[in-house]
Amino acid sequence: MKKEVVRAKRCSVMPDGEKYLTREDCLKPNPETVFRKEEEGAFLFDPHTGNLKYLNANGVNIYELCDGRKTVGDIITLLMEFYPDMAVEKIAADTELFFEGLAAMQFMTKSEKNGA
56-77, pLDDT tens digit by residue? 999 999 999 999 999 999 999 9
Q: On the CB side of 27, how many CA atoms lie within 13 Å of its CA?
A: 30
- Whole-model pTM? 0.80
Residue 59 CA to residue 56 CA, distance in Å, equals 5
Cβ–Cβ under 8 Å, residues 23 and 91:
no
Which domains are present in the chain? 20-110 (3.90.930.60)
**Mean pLDDT of the region 41-57:** 96
Q: Taking a C-beta distance cutoff of 8 angstroms, is the pair 56, 63 a contact?
A: no
